Amino acid sequence: MSLLLRCFLSEQFLYLLLDIMVMHKKMIKHLVACIALYVPSINAAWYEVTGVSSVLENKAQARQHALEDAIYQAIKFSDADIGGLTVLRPYLKELKDDYLLSGNEIRQIQVLKTKQFNGAIKLTARIDIYPTASACHKNQYRKELLMTRFNIVSPEHAALGGIFQFGNDFTVLLQRQFETQAQSFVIQGISPHAISLTQPYITTMIAENTSAQYLLVGNITDMSATIDKKTVHKNKTSRQLALSISVINGKSGEVIYQNRYRDTAAWPFEKNSKVDTKTARFWTSSYGEMAQRMSRNILLDLEKNLSCRVTTPKIISIRGPHGQINAGRIHGVAYDDVLSLWHDASFTDQYGIQRTQLKKSEILLTVSRIYENSSEVSISPAELGSSIQIGDMVTKYTQ
């Protein structure tokens, strides 16, 4: 057993063991076991991080949120798939100090210490992560996403605190979340136009004008408050936050993903005070912290459900044997990338509905120059360049 433990000391020790094998065949079994343990450790790494969460409902919930925060930080630092965190949430509800996991880039989580202070839980964990090269965010270009402002469905719910601008400020928060944390998306900004799920034709026009592959539409459906009069010193106010989101395919106008979110938190402000939802005072409160966590959950869910969908940049210019696509450095395009070409054969059916149809071409494109938001490509074979049309789509070439 001591031999197996020592196999992790250094690479030089592995070579020493190989020499020993030649002289002592008895050690073959130990050597094989040592190599089996040594090889995976090349890609694996332990990350010790600390997560923090306010105690809102109870300590167990705060502990789970602090643990999620720690795991999220470790995943981001290791460049693993942040969408994988959504799969772990059911297991993190169990109050354990050691989590052994499988089928995920995270293999083990050890809770080292937990401390409560000033109404918050501070948790330190050691996390074993095996980042994989096959993760979708590493093999797909980043997708362009256009957001719309979150509308408060029942404005009377915003009367407490006068937070009628919360929808706009939450949208800006979510935009920044995607701009700084997303692995699979490039934000195209916030649309000034309202987008209806029942008007796909208008949706596709907006998407075409902004080059957005997807559009994110959201509504705030509940911000009602309840007052608990059973507390000893003063009334305690709790407030709901419920959201619904829909993701629309910019090419077809079809809704491809929907989800709902709901949580509650203490409302720590005076009943008659007006609260500015642009201030740090609001966003560092228990309610603001809960809203931030909800925005991150939206990001994680979209990463999990959309990151593996094919990114489809378009041809925006053709000049003989050369062309240009509307994807560049910020999308992850690299010099010498090889792309497949898809001819746009979309049509309108007898009922007036736009139907998307793409036909794969034998033409291959090679990236020859990269800009921030676009790239130049060379066409092969060059004589087929005349068959390419503006609006044809490209994808990363796979054999």
The answer to whether residues 150 and 281 belong to one domain is yes
Alpha helices in 48-158 (DSSP H): 59-78, 85-92, 136-139
The answer to whether residues 281 and 297 belong to one domain is yes
Boundary residue ending a domain (88, 111, 129): 129
Boundary residue ending a domain (288, 306, 324): 306
What is the distance between the alpha carbons of residues 292 and 72, in angstroms, rounded to a whole number? 14
Residue 96 is predicted with a pLDDT of 92
Contacts of 281 (CB under 8 A, 6+ apart): 275
What DSSP line would sit under 128-158, residue for residue?
EE---TT-HHHHSPPEEEEEEPPEESSGGGG
* Segments forming the whole domain that contains residue 336: 315-396
The answer to whether residues 172 and 282 belong to one domain is yes
Domains of the chain: total:
4
Residue 255 is predicted with a pLDDT of 96
The answer to whether residues 167 and 284 belong to one domain is yes
Instruction: Decide if pLDDT at 325 tops 50.
Output: yes
pTM exceeds 0.75: yes
Residue 374 is predicted with a pLDDT of 96
Boundary residue ending a domain (90, 113, 129): 129
- The listed range with the strongest mean pLDDT (6-20, 54-68, 127-141, 358-372) is 358-372
The answer to whether residues 117 and 239 belong to one domain is no
Looking at per-residue pLDDT, the higher value among 78 and 155 belongs to 155
Instruction: Decide if pLDDT at 351 tops 50.
Output: yes
Strand partners, 293: none
